[in-house]
Chains A and B, each alone.
Chain A
């Protein structure tokens, strides 16, 4: 079966046939369908939700609520466990704020060097505020989180485990189900950064059994500024909201208030309505293509790319055994920014930098890297073009004496 998709025409950015887009791990492209859906909101029923009793507001509210059902179905959550946020970073910060009052002096928070800044810095901050200790799971020689290493740092003082599901630099899949089971046996909460997993594979929050899980719409064909916080209902019932205002409040009086039930309890202000509706359309699109089929496609592309890159002299690959469609590498002796300028000249979009994960860079002992990441709209042609351009970059800088 040929798993390559013939879907370039679905993505307006790819109307430029010379463009090779290999930066989905940063943000994905948006299909026509999603754009139309969001446009429809502003053109046809641009009313606020949960407020007006008139027809337009009712229509908007219906679609907005449908979006929550779609997200819940995607990750096998209950509807009232899906909190709409401004993105994964926002959601992960909310988790830290929600749990902060329960962190005591001397408690331990387990995290890793693979974390995106958005999952490590909130906990660094909470640890400082509460006098808790930040513990890093030692990575194995390839940079992976292994179960045994996690067991070694787990202790009766462990209060929170904050780990990534798939690393945005190394593309490794964390054994999160087993980690969650162990963490729960020690009475710890588990927060999962799923920004790089939910867009690329089937993720089931009940099977993982984590307490919180976050991801962003824009990494899975949806709009920017929108994301999801999944939280177990019992936690969303028990924990205090982190933001206050309209929508989250039940009865407001001068010195007291009651809260709405979750998820509204954690959502204040007019929400990103078009974004929610657009995101649901993106999920529908991805489910029609099949997340497991997409994953297979990316895997094959990654294998193809690994092979081609390995055959290229002067290329160092940092994650040869990645589980996801992410390849992190460098051209020996040439700074990634210089390489990426040549690639850009060939209309190839690739990330160069530290990918909002400076701890991984420190672990790798490099200042910055190149990163190619794949999605359903990428093809083998894209990789061939990348290889050709890398050769050009290498020859160019060799001629320049580097």
Chain B
């Protein structure tokens, strides 16, 4: 597998072409976060429905490169129907993985494992994490931005 194939795994391209949970809903119960990367124009909106401590639904919309758009789809499939704390924990492990930091390898990242190659492309880490940041924002954790 060459460097390009290592980055652009089939699963990633598949999610890019056929995104899951795409399209926002007009429902006040959802929390929404919109992040735009001002340097490249990647633009992601994540909506989550949290009820009874569980992430009941995740929707996404946006435009950008394949890494950015596909990761929003992968995130929605992976974290839907999880307890908030677990979803938060998995998200942190994913972000650590793609940015080359240590992470809990016991966590099942499923399709998100495919983004392992990103850490070898520092210029693309932002693309791979922007949707996840938006997701974490919808959980209302960090209010520092």
Evaluate whether A338 and B43 lie within 8 angstroms (CB atoms) in the complex, with A400-B8, A401-B17 already known. Answer: no
Q: How many residue pairs at the A-B interface have CB separations less than 8 Å?
A: 52
Cα(A400)–Cα(B66), bound, Å = 11
CA distance A354 to B65 in the complex (A): 13
Q: CA of A344 to CA of B123 in the docked complex: distance in angstroms?
A: 10
User: Which residues of chain A are within 8 angstroms of B63 by Cβ–Cβ distance?
Assistant: 367
Residues B123 and A361 in contact, CB atoms below 8 Å apart: no
- Check if B124 sits within 8 Å of A341, measured CB to CB: yes
B121 close to A367 (CB less than 8 A):
no
Complex contact B17–A352 (CB within 8 A):
no
Closest to A367 in B: B41
Task: Count chain A CB atoms within 10 A of each CB in B10, B40, B124 and give the residue with the most.
Answer: B40
Number of chain B residues whose Cβ lies closer than 8 Å to a Cβ of chain A: 24
Contact at B8–A335, with CB atoms within 8 Å? no
A342 to B7, CA, bound (A): 10
Number of interface residues of A (CB under 8 A): 20
Chain A residues numbered 323-363 whose CB sits less than 8 Å from any CB in chain B: 335-338, 341-342, 344-345, 352-354, 358, 361
B65 x A338 contact (CB < 8 A) = yes
Complex partner residue of B40 from A345, A352, A400, CB under 8 angstroms:
A352
Quick check: is A396 within 8 A (CB to CB) of the other chain?
yes
Contacts of B42 in A (CB 8 A): 337
Once the chains bind, are A341 and B7 in contact (CB under 8 Å)? yes
Q: Is A368 an interface residue (CB 8 A)?
A: yes
Mask of B1-44 contacts with A, CB within 8 angstroms, 1/0: 00110011010011011000000000000000000000111110
User: At the interface, yes or no: A257 with Cβ under 8 Å from chain B?
Assistant: no
B67 within 8 A of A: yes
B121: chain A residues at CB < 8 Å are: 341
Q: Which residues in A have their C-beta under 8 angstroms from that of B3?
A: 345
- What's the least CB distance linking A280 to chain B, in Å? 32
Residues of B within 8 A of A338 (CB): 8, 65-67
CB within 8 Å of B: which residues of A? 335-338, 341-342, 344-345, 352-354, 358, 361, 367-368, 396-397, 400-402
Question: 18 additional contacts, CB 8 Å, given A335-B65, A397-B8, A400-B8?
Answer: A335-B64, A337-B65, A337-B68, A337-B124, A338-B65, A341-B4, A341-B7, A341-B121, A342-B4, A345-B3, A353-B39, A353-B40, A354-B40, A358-B41, A367-B41, A367-B43, A400-B10, A402-B66
Task: Please give me the 4 A-B residue pairs with the lowest Cβ-Cβ distance, nearest first.
Answer: A337-B65, A335-B65, A400-B13, A368-B41
